[in-house]
Amino acid sequence: MLLEDAPGIGKTKLTPFINTLLKTFLTQEYESLEGGLLNCYPVIGFDHLASQSLLDDLEKGELRFIELFKNQTINELDEDPFLDKVTTTVKIKAVSNAHGQPAVDFINRAKDLGNEKGYPEMRVVFKRPEGKQRSVRLSTLREDAGDAVFGRMELITTEYDLPQCAAELDDDFLKKMRALK
């Protein structure tokens, strides 16, 4: 399924709305094995099709920086009701013109170091050829960061203004979206 990303109406607003509708109209009761009744209903989630690899984007783009991070609990503040999590972050800035396989090799070295030092996750930030910055989160347990895939986001332009949140997508716009596959 192709989705237009309309500003202000992202999946974080659509998912709970649709799930509320599903719960309201499709809840059914089933007998529990332990006795009693269970209310059951379907739920949905929107995820990107993971079709873009980090190596592909770094062939054309430029590595900006890497962040290694881990969540910790501070025992002295553990009883505080306002404490959600404490995050420790290490930011590693890349030199200019870091792209392609050398950039992926550098990311892999940082990933291995992060894993060794107890940082389970990392975020890779790079600049795409058209100038927009993009970030990808991945585990430091991955074998090769270059193989990491993520949802693809592309800018599509038209010669005319498109209406926001139209009931149907413009035919030329759809053709351009499908051509990206």
DSSP 43-109: -------EEEEHHHHHHHSEEEEEEEEEEE--GGGTT-TT---EEEEEEEEPPTT--HHHHHHHHHH
Q: CA nearest 162: which of 1, 6, 3? A: 6
Contact 92, 108 (CB under 8 A): no
What is the model's pLDDT at position 89?
Answer: 85
Q: Is 68 inside any structural domain? A: yes
Q: Are residues 118 and 137 in the same domain?
A: yes
Q: Is 1 inside any structural domain? A: no
What is the model's pLDDT at position 35?
Answer: 86
Task: For residue 43, give its domain range.
Answer: 11-48+156-179
Q: Is 5 inside any structural domain? A: no
3: pLDDT strictly greater than 80: no
Contact 139, 120 (CB under 8 A): yes
Q: Are residues 118 and 167 in the same domain?
A: no
What is the model's pLDDT at position 79?
Answer: 65
Q: Is 4 inside any structural domain? A: no
Q: Is 6 inside any structural domain? A: no
- Torsion angles phi and psi, residue 122, rounded to 5: -145, 160
How much is the mean pLDDT over the chain?
A: 79
Q: Is 2 inside any structural domain? A: no
Q: Is 72 inside any structural domain? A: yes
Q: Is 88 inside any structural domain? A: yes
Structure confidence at residue 1 as a pLDDT band (50, 70, 90) = very low
Q: Are residues 25 and 82 in the same domain?
A: no
Q: Are residues 142 and 86 in the same domain?
A: yes
DSSP letter assigned to residue 146: G
